[in-house]
């Protein structure tokens, strides 16, 4: 390990906080995002925190941009030790309301962006015997109502991570997948959904969370150090996952009630 880390979606939110957490340990960071101002701000904060690195604008939908980013990591850092596939977007809406374009957009960024990140950086990780950290979501495990395209994309990230955990063991490449619940983030900036009411409901959940992106970054740092594969930063999320493993029907019933409430609320506030 030469303390070199790549992060996608590093211009804000959890990506930025992960960068800062590792920067405090003196790591060199390769930061990418579609927002150049966000990236510059993250780099400034990283340097203040005791780390260093470089930024490169990168849209994870474009594989050639990711391979160019990997090449830049090789040229500027001599390789990479940890990659964090964090770039993601939020969306919501009942299945009947979601267009196929909504599905394509969600899968292209939240699932295929992670696939392409792993693919582009795998040769460097095989050389360094490094680690992959994929950011999924509790939505991958719990499948809440009115977010089927998001649930499917994030469940795909978990399945990909499980596949890589097994396949890359022989190459001594470590794999971790993180499933946060709602936390205080700017995910709503990218939110796409059929109704403003849905965005407002998600916004309330994000704001009411007692856990911040910085708390999650701390938890990820500790769990990766311990070699934990599936990282569930929220205590409530860990409890819900334990219940689902023992009695899935209980969770399905709960989610059905939640869906009914969301529909009732949407009827009260049509906009």
Do the beta carbons of residue 143 and residue 151 sit within 8 Å?
Answer: yes
Do the beta carbons of residue 27 and residue 51 sit within 8 Å?
Answer: yes
Using the 8-state DSSP alphabet, how is residue 269 labeled? S
Using the 8-state DSSP alphabet, how is residue 103 labeled? H
How many CB atoms neighbour CB 239 within 10 A? 11
- Mapping DSSP onto H, E and C, the string for 2-65 reads CCEEEECCCCCHHHHHHHHHHHCCCCEEEEEECCHHHHHHHHHHHHHCCCEEEEEECCCCCHHH
Is 150 marked active-site?
yes
User: Catalytic pick from 150, 219, 221, 252?
Assistant: 150
Residues carrying an active site annotation: 150
């Amino acid at each position: 390990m030469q303390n070199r880390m790549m992060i996608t979606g590093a211009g804000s939110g959890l990506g930025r906080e992960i960068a800062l957490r590792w920067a405090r340990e003196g790591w060199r960071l390769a930061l990418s995002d579609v927002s150049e101002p966000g990236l510059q701000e993250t780099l400034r904060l990283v340097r203040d925190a005791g780390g260093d690195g470089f930024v490169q604008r990168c849209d994870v939908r474009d594989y050639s941009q990711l391979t160019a980013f990997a090449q830049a990591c090789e040229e500027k850092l001599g390789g990479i030790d940890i990659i964090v596939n964090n770039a993601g977007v939020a969306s919501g809406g009942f299945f009947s309301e979601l267009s196929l374009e909504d599905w394509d957009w969600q899968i292209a960024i939240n699932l295929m962006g992670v696939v392409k990140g792993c693919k582009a950086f795998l040769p460097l990780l095989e050389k360094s015997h490094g680690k992959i950290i994929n950011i999924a979501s509790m939505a991958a495990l719990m499948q809440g109502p009115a977010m089927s395209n998001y649930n499917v994309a994030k469940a795909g990230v978990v399945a990909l991570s499980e596949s890589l955990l097994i396949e890359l063991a022989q190459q001594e490449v470590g794999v971790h997948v993180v499933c946060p619940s709602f936390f205080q983030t700017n995910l709503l900036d990218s939110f796409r959904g059929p109704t403003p009411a849905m965005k407002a409901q998600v916004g309330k959940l994000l704001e009411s969370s007692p856990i911040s992106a910085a708390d999650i970054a701390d938890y990820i740092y500790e769990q990766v150090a311990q070699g934990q594969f599936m990282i569930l930063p929220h205590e409530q999320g860990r409890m819900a996952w334990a219940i689902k493993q023992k009695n899935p029907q209980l969770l399905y019933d709960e989610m059905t009630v939640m869906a009914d409430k969301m529909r009732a609320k949407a009827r009260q506030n049509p906009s």
